[in-house]
C-alpha cells in the first residue's frame, strides 16, 4: 500500500519533489496539492499527470482524510504554521529547510511534537543523505581519522539574485553546513565569528561576498567555512575533516576527465539541483519508508532548532564582528 502524500507549495522544489515521488521513488503517491497560486498547483498536477486533488489551502489539505503524510515546500515563513497543523492532525510531515524562520518557531514545533508523544517531523537537510558525506561520517565514526580536530569547508554558488542579502548567506546557504557538521562530528557549536574579506566586484550592493564563518564546537573542533555566492565558476561544495591520524576529503561529483586540445579538464557543476540530486532521492525515499513503517529517522525538529539557533548567532556575529557565544539548550530525551 502506498503512502498518500499531500504537498503544500508547488514552486520549484515542491514540483521537483513531487516529480521524484511520482517518477523515481517507490511506495509514495501524490494525492493532494496546494499553493497560494492555485493555477500553479493545477499546472503541476497536469505536468506530472497525477490524479491529485487541488485544495484551497494548506489547512484543508492537512485535514483531508486521504492524506497520510504532508510535505511542506512553501516559503520559509509559512513552514511553522503548516508543520504545527500536521502535528496536531497526527500526520507525519516532511518540512524543507528552514523548519521555521526563528528559533522560537522551531521551539513551538518541538513542544508540539513532544506533546504528541511521537516523532512526526523530518527536516529537509538532504546533505546527510549524500553518499560523499556518508563516507566521511563512516570514516569518522569508525575512528579512521582519530579524533577530528579541524574542518575546512567552502560553499560556493555561481551567482545570486538581487534579493539575496548578507544574512541570507547564513539562513539560506550556511544553514546546510550548520546542520551537516553537527551530524558529521556528533557535536554542537559553542561560538561563531564572521569575517568579511575584500568584496568581489561580482556581488551587488546588498550582499557582502565572500564571507568566512569561524565556528568552535563544544569538543573544541575549529571549523572555517568560506561562503562565496558569486564565485562565477560553479556550484562547488568542499569539505576536509582533519583528524589526529589523517584527513577525509569530501569526494568531488563524478565527471568525465577530458584530454583535449592540450588540456586535461573535468566539468564543474553549475547547479545545486544536480549536485545533490541523488541525496534528495534518498532523503525522500527515507521519508516515505519512515511513514510506511511508522518510524521517522533522519534530521529531526531538534536538528532544525539547533541549526536555527546557530544561524541566528552567526547573523549576530555578522553584525557585531565579534566572537559570539552559541548557547544550545539541553537536548530533550525525546530526541536522543
Ligand atoms: P519557490 O518560491 O519556487 O516555491 C515556493 C512556493 O510556495 C510558491 O509556489 C509559493 O506560491 C508557495 N507558497 C507561498 N506561501 C504559501 C502558502 N501560505 N501556502 C501554500 N503555498 C505557498 O521556492 P523554492 O525554491 O521551491 O523553496 C521552497 C522552500 O524550499 C524554501 O523554504 C527553501 O528554503 C527550501 N529549499 C530547500 C533547498 C534544499 O537545498 N534543501 C533548495 C531550495 C529550496
Q: What is the atom index within ligand 1 of the atom nearest the CA of 79?
A: 32
| Candidate from 6, 8, 10, 11 with most ligand 1 atoms within 8 A of CB, to mutate | 11
ipTM of the complex: 0.99
Q: How many CB atoms lie within 10 A of CB 61?
A: 24
pLDDT tens by residue, 282-293:
999 999 999 999
Phi first, then psi, for residue 34 (nearest 5°) are -155, 160
Nearest Cα neighbor of 159 from 271, 311, 280 is 271
The SS3 call for residue 330 is coil
Nine-digit cell at 119?
A: 516523532
| 117: pLDDT strictly greater than 90 | yes
pLDDT score, position 245: 97
Give residues with Cβ within 8 angstroms of 254, minimum separation 6.
none
Nearest Cα neighbor of 304 from 133, 138, 84 is 84
pLDDT tens by residue, 124-148:
999 999 999 999 999 999 999 999 9
Is the beta carbon of 35 within 6 A of some atom in ligand 1?
A: yes
Is the beta carbon of 9 within 6 A of some atom in ligand 1?
A: yes
Residues above pLDDT 90, as percent of the chain: 99
Is the beta carbon of 126 within 6 A of some atom in ligand 1?
A: yes
Calculate the average pLDDT of the chain.
97
| 323: pLDDT strictly greater than 90 | yes
What is the Cα–Cα distance from 69 to 7, expressed in whole angstroms?
Answer: 9
pLDDT score, position 336: 87
Domains and CATH numbers, the chain: 3-127+278-300 (3.40.50.720), 131-270+307-335 (3.30.360.10)
Q: Is the peptide bond before 83 cis (omega within 30 degrees of 0)?
A: no
| 68: pLDDT strictly greater than 90 | yes
DSSP E strand boundaries for the chain? 3-8, 28-34, 53-54, 69-72, 93-95, 121-123, 148-156, 189-195, 211-217, 222-228, 236-243, 247-249, 257-260, 263-266, 324-325
The SS3 call for residue 232 is coil
- Give the mean model confidence (pLDDT) for residues 85-103: 96
pTM over 0.80: yes
pLDDT score, position 308: 97
Is the beta carbon of 97 within 6 A of some atom in ligand 1?
A: yes
**Per-residue b or e along 139-165, where b marks 16 or more CB atoms closer than 10 Å to that residue's CB:** bbeeeebeebeebbbbbbbbebeeebe
**217 C-alpha to ligand 1 centroid (Å):** 31
| Candidate from 13, 39, 129 with most ligand 1 atoms within 8 A of CB, to mutate | 13
- Give the mean model confidence (pLDDT) for residues 39-58: 97
Is the beta carbon of 128 within 6 A of some atom in ligand 1?
A: no
Phi first, then psi, for residue 191 (nearest 5°) are -155, 160
Give residues with Cβ within 8 angstroms of 1, minimum separation 6.
none
**273 C-alpha to ligand 1 centroid (Å):** 14
Q: How many CA atoms lie within 13 A of 217 on its CB side?
A: 22
Give residues with Cβ within 8 angstroms of 101, minimum separation 6.
76, 77, 79, 80, 171
Is the beta carbon of 196 within 6 A of some atom in ligand 1?
A: no
Is the beta carbon of 10 within 6 A of some atom in ligand 1?
A: yes
Give residues with Cβ within 8 angstroms of 272, minimum separation 6.
157, 235
Which protein residue's CA is at the shortest distance from atom 20 of ligand 1? Answer: 35
pLDDT bin (cut points 50, 70, 90) of residue 1 is: confident
Is the beta carbon of 63 within 6 A of some atom in ligand 1?
A: no
Amino acid at each position: 500500500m502506498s503512502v498518500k502524500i499531500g504537498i503544500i507549495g508547488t514552486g520549484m522544489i515542491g514540483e521537483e519533489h513531487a516529480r521524484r515521488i511520482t517518477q523515481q521513488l517507490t511506495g509514495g503517491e501524490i494525492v493532494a496539492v496546494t499553493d497560494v497560486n492555485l493555477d500553479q498547483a493545477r499546472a503541476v498536477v497536469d505536468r506530472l499527470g497525477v490524479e491529485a486533488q487541488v485544495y484551497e489551502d494548506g489547512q484543508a489539505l492537512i485535514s483531508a482524510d486521504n492524506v497520510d503524510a504532508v510535505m511542506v515546500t512553501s516559503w520559509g515563513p509559512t513552514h511553522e504554521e503548516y508543520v504545527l497543523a500536521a502535528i496536531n492532525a497526527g500526520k507525519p510531515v516532511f518540512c524543507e529547510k528552514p523548519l521555521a524562520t526563528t528559533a522560537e518557531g522551531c521551539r513551538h514545533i518541538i513542544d508540539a511534537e513532544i506533546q504528541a508523544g511521537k516523532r512526526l517531523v523530518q527536516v529537509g537537510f538532504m546533505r546527510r543523505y549524500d553518499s560523499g558525506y556518508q563516507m566521511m561520517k563512516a570514516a569518522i565514526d569508525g575512528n579512521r581519522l582519530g579524533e577530528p580536530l579541524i574542518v575546512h569547508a567552502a560553499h560556493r554558488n555561481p551567482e545570486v539574485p538581487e534579493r539575496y542579502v548578507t544574512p541570507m548567506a547564513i539562513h539560506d546557504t550556511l544553514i546546510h553546513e550548520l546542520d551537516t557538521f553537527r551530524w558529521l562530528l556528533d557535536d554542537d557549536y559553542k561560538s561563531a565569528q564572521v569575517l568579511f574579506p575584500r568584496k568581489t566586484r561580482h556581488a551587488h550592493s546588498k550582499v557582502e561576498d565572500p564571507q568566512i564563518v569561524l565556528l568552535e564546537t563544544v569538543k573544541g573542533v575549529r571549523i572555517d567555512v568560506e561562503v562565496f555566492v558569486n564565485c562565477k565558476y560553479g556550484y562547488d561544495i568542499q569539505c576536509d575533516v582533519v583528524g589526529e591520524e589523517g584527513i577525509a576529503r569530501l569526494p568531488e561529483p563524478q565527471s568525465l576527465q577530458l584530454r583535449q586540445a592540450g588540456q586535461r579538464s573535468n566539468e564543474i557543476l553549475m547547479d545545486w539541483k544536480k549536485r545533490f540530486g541523488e541525496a534528495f532521492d534518498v532523503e525522500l525515499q527515507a521519508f516515505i519508508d519512515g511513514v510506511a513503517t511508522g518510524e521517522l529517522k533522519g534530521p529531526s525538529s531538534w536538528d532544525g532548532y539547533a541549526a536555527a539557533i546557530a544561524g541566528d548567532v552567526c547573523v549576530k556575529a555578522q553584525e557585531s564582528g565579534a566572537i559570539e557565544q552559541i548557547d544550545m539548550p539541553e537536548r530533550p530525551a525525546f530526541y536522543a
